[in-house]
């Protein structure tokens, strides 16, 4: 009987078994090559882990003199302040860009330009943006604000544009059919549909911005990062641990606030 | 009629009050922040001019420089790949600890959560600073930094996947007399395998972006070249590096999206 000959095979994404093994072998080969490429020989790793044990002792316990504590507080406030200001500027700038980057609301060339801008913003790590911002406008929190604003625009307008593409065009048409001008169509047909997402996204991005603002000081763009780099360069490892703990604490608080707000207002 | 007097309102009074308070708090925070930073800020209106000036100096990109960045670029990709595979191996036990249904007891559960939290709260660049101290500067420190940053991400999301598995299958494997390793291999792993592959590829994509900046703190990759070019004010070379990074990141993102669509 035909039914007796039926065999079961596990579902797989590959059409042919040979292809599957070729892909696996290729991936494995790549990892081996990478291992040689970064100089990851077992001896060196063992040595590094060995020195890690003694070094961890240098990092503990965390400690900071009263002056250092003051410095952490001041620079941490600067980080949080940068995040606050640039979340607002970023969101304000994102709104027009998001509308222009939504396929259903924007003409083709404008759509392409704005999508391109979003890709550029998302492709570059905040540190890269920060280092260029610092060269352009000098050290300090202004470069940080510029960096975070730029990163926020890429993230925020991408997600907002996707929401705009998902809206119910029926209600937009209804508003338009009642004789509304283009501005009125946007205000009463489009905006009410995205407001809830808008609030959630803003808080989410604020949370990410707090994280970003704690590190871009490493390249001179203001905030606690500069203190961290200096402490590392001075081999003041107990102070480094104190700074790291303060960063972790702030990041966790921001994450908690963001989670609570998103749950209540989404 | 009573029903005629009812009015429709979008939100009840408590929600409106809550929203109002939240808006005021946010506004005060932003204004206060701007005031606080006033010391560090001089004339924001010069930003467009300065940035425009920089862009003019970057054009045209220095094409000849591309030959110099091929090596560092490959190194960047290798760092990201090794970091991701290292994180994958290390995150499986973390995920098992951080999932409520596989963790042995409350203490191990919190240990898992602690590892996830610390890994996620510390940025890649800070992990890199740390591992450059341990391993010396070079790509090895970068790969380990990428791995340690990714453990939290993979551990958290994989843990959530494990919490959602069908425990009946695990019981069945155990009832057949399997050891705990066999339970893991035949009861749990097959159920989370698609998520495992998808999450790893997604993280690899993020890691490519992250590994482009490791060079700033001496942890290898294309960031070293970028940092040098920036410090030498060789803006046309900077433009070349930036374009190459853009190309690689966009290519990675497409590959990642395509592969994740395959396994889903």
pLDDT along chain A (266 residues), means of 10: 63 74 87 81 76 79 82 88 90 90 86 91 91 85 90 92 87 88 86 84 90 90 88 87 91 88 73
Task: State the DSSP code for B184.
Answer: I
Could you tell me if B165 and B247 are in contact, meaning their C-beta atoms sit under 8 angstroms apart?
no
pLDDT for res A60? 80
Contacts of A18 (CB under 8 A, 6+ apart): none
Degrees, nearest 5: CA angle B233-B239-B241: 100
Look at B30-44, B148-162, B169-183, B186-200 and tell me which has the smallest mean pLDDT. Answer: B30-44
Residues B226 and B246: their CA atoms lie apart, in Å, by 13
pLDDT for residue B206 is more than 80: yes
Name the pTM for this structure. Answer: 0.84
Reported as a pLDDT band with limits 50, 70 and 90, residue B148 is: very high
With CA atoms as reference, the chain B residue closest to A49 would be B134
Taking all residues of chain B, what is their mean pLDDT, rounded to a whole number? Answer: 86
Establish if B45 touches chain A: CB-CB under 8 angstroms. Answer: no
Residue at token pair 């797989």: A12
In degrees and rounded to multiples of 5, residue A39 shows phi and psi of: 70, 40
Chain A: give the shortest CA distance to residue B1, in Å.
31
**Residues from chain B contacting residue A211 (CB–CB below 8 Å):** 121, 123
**Residues from chain B contacting residue A31 (CB–CB below 8 Å):** 81-82, 85
Could you tell me if B91 and B154 are in contact, meaning their C-beta atoms sit under 8 angstroms apart?
yes
Chain B: give the shortest CA distance to residue A1, in Å.
32
Could you tell me if B162 and B96 are in contact, meaning their C-beta atoms sit under 8 angstroms apart?
yes
Altogether, the residues listed in chain B come to a count of: 264
Contact A128 B242 (CB under 8 A): yes
**Residues from chain B contacting residue A81 (CB–CB below 8 Å):** 32-34, 36-37
The H helix count followed by the E strand count for chain A is 12, 0
The most confident of the ranges A126-135, A254-263, B39-48, B63-72 is A126-135
Considering only CB atoms, B226 lies closest to which of A39, A80, A128, namely: A128
With the C-alpha atoms ordered A226, A246, B89, B190, is the resulting torsion angle positive or negative?
Answer: negative
pLDDT for residue B199 is more than 50: yes
Establish if A39 touches chain B: CB-CB under 8 angstroms. Answer: yes
- Find residues 96-135 of chain A whose CB sits inside 8 Å of chain B: 119-120, 122-125, 127-128, 131-132, 135
pLDDT for res A260? 86
Reported as a pLDDT band with limits 50, 70 and 90, residue B39 is: low
3-state secondary structure of A98: helix
**DSSP track, A12-53:** -S-SSHHHHHHHHHHHHHHHHHHHHHTT--HHHHHHHHHHHH
Could you tell me if A251 and A211 are in contact, meaning their C-beta atoms sit under 8 angstroms apart?
yes
Average pLDDT for B133-137: 83
With CA atoms as reference, the chain A residue closest to B41 would be A142
pLDDT for res A30? 85
Torsion angle (degrees, nearest 10) of CA B120, B123, B126, B130: 30
Contact B139 A37 (CB under 8 A): yes
Establish if B37 touches chain A: CB-CB under 8 angstroms. Answer: yes
Mutation for testing the B interface, residue in A132, A212, A217 having most B CBs under 10 Å? A132
The H helix count followed by the E strand count for chain B is 11, 0
**Residues from chain A contacting residue B36 (CB–CB below 8 Å):** 77-78, 81
Select the more confidently predicted residue: B129 or B3: B129
Torsion angle (degrees, nearest 10) of CA B118, B119, B120, B124: 130
* Closest-CA residue to A198 (of A81, A76, A90): A90
CA distances from A129 to B157, B212, B217, B241, B243 (A): 29, 12, 15, 13, 13
Residues B130 and B179: their CA atoms lie apart, in Å, by 39
**Which two three-digit tokens encode residue B161?**
């996947």
Average pLDDT for B33-62: 78
pLDDT for residue B126 is more than 50: yes
pLDDT for res B42? 61
Convert the pLDDT of each residue in B3-32 to its tens digit: 556 666 666 777 778 778 888 888 888 888
Mutation for testing the B interface, residue in A73, A87, A137 having most B CBs under 10 Å? A137
Select the more confidently predicted residue: B71 or A14: B71
Contact B133 A55 (CB under 8 A): yes
Q: How many CA atoms lie within 13 A of B197 on its CB side?
A: 16
* Closest-CA residue to B80 (of A45, A185, A115, A34): A34
Considering only CB atoms, B263 lies closest to which of A13, A85, A214, namely: A13
pLDDT for res B3? 54
Establish if A257 touches chain B: CB-CB under 8 angstroms. Answer: no
Question: In sequence order, which ranges of A124-213 are alpha helices (DSSP H)?
Answer: 126-137, 141-165, 169-177, 182-185, 191-213
Chain A: give the shortest CA distance to residue B123, in Å.
7
Considering only CB atoms, A37 lies closest to which of B53, B78, B210, namely: B78
Degrees, nearest 5: CA angle A220-B138-A226: 15
**Residues from chain A contacting residue B48 (CB–CB below 8 Å):** none
CA distances from A155 to A205, B13, B176 (A): 8, 33, 50
pLDDT for res B156? 92
**Residues from chain A contacting residue B138 (CB–CB below 8 Å):** 38-39
Residues A14 and A180: their CA atoms lie apart, in Å, by 53
pLDDT for res B1? 45
pLDDT for residue B217 is more than 70: yes
Establish if A12 touches chain B: CB-CB under 8 angstroms. Answer: no
Residues B88 and B155: their CA atoms lie apart, in Å, by 8
Report ipTM (2 d.p.). Answer: 0.83
Query: For the packed helices B222-231 and A126-137, what is the interaxial angle rounded to 10 degrees?
Result: 0
């Amino acid at each position: 009987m035909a039914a007796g000959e039926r065999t079961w095979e596990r579902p797989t994404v590959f059409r042919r078994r040979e292809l599957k093994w070729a892909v696996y072998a290729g991936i494995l080969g790549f990892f081996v090559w990478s291992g040689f490429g970064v100089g990851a020989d077992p001896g060196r790793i063992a040595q590094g882990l060995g020195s890690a044990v003694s070094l961890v002792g240098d990092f503990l316990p965390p400690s900071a003199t009263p002056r250092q504590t003051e410095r952490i507080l001041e620079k941490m406030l600067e980080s949080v302040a940068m995040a606050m200001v640039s979340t607002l500027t970023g969101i304000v700038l994102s709104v027009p860009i998001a509308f222009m980057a939504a396929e259903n609301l924007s003409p083709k060339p404008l759509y392409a330009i704005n999508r391109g801008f979003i890709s550029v913003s998302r492709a570059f790590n905040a540190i890269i943006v920060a280092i260029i911002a610092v060269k352009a406008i000098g050290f300090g929190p202004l470069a940080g604000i510029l960096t975070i604003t730029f990163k926020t625009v890429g993230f925020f307008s991408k997600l907002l544009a996707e929401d705009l593409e998902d809206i119910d065009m029926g209600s937009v048409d209804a508003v338009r059919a009642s004789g509304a001008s283009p501005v009125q169509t946007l205000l009463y047909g489009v905006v009410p549909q995205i407001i809830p997402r808008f609030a959630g996204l803003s808080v989410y991005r604020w949370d990410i911005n707090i994280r970003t603002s704690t590190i871009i000081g490493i390249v001179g763009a203001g905030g606690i990062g500069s203190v961290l780099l200096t402490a590392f360069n001075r081999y003041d490892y107990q102070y480094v641990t104190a700074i790291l703990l303060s960063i972790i604490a702030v990041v966790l608080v921001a994450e908690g606030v963001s989670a609570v707000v998103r749950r209540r207002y989404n | 009629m009573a029903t005629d007097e009812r009015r429709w309102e979008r939100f009840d009074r408590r929600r409106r009050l809550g929203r109002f308070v939240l808006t005021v708090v946010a506004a005060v925070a932003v204004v206060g922040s701007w005031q606080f930073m006033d010391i560090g800020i001089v004339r924001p209106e010069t930003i467009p001019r300065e940035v425009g000036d920089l862009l003019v100096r970057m054009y045209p990109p220095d094409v000849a420089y591309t030959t110099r960045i091929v090596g560092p670029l490959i190194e960047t990709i290798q760092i990201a790949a090794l970091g991701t595979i290292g994180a994958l191996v290390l995150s499986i036990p973390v995920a098992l600890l951080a999932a409520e249904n596989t963790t042995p007891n409350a203490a191990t559960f919190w240990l898992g959560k602690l590892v996830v939290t610390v890994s996620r709260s510390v940025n890649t660049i800070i992990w890199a600073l740390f591992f450059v101290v341990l391993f010396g500067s070079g790509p090895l420190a970068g790969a380990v930094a990428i791995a340690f940053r990714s453990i939290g991400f993979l551990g958290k999301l994989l843990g959530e996947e494990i919490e959602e598995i069908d425990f009946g299958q695990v019981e069945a494997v155990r009832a057949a007399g399997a050891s705990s390793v066999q339970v893991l291999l035949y009861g749990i792993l097959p159920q989370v395998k698609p998520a495992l592959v998808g999450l790893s590829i997604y993280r690899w994509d993020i890691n490519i972006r992250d590994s482009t900046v490791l060079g700033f703190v001496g942890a290898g990759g294309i960031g070293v070249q970028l940092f040098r070019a920036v410090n030498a004010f060789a803006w046309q070379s900077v433009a070349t590096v930036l374009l190459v990074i853009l190309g690689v990141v966009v290519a990675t993102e497409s590959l990642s999206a395509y592969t994740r669509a395959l396994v889903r």
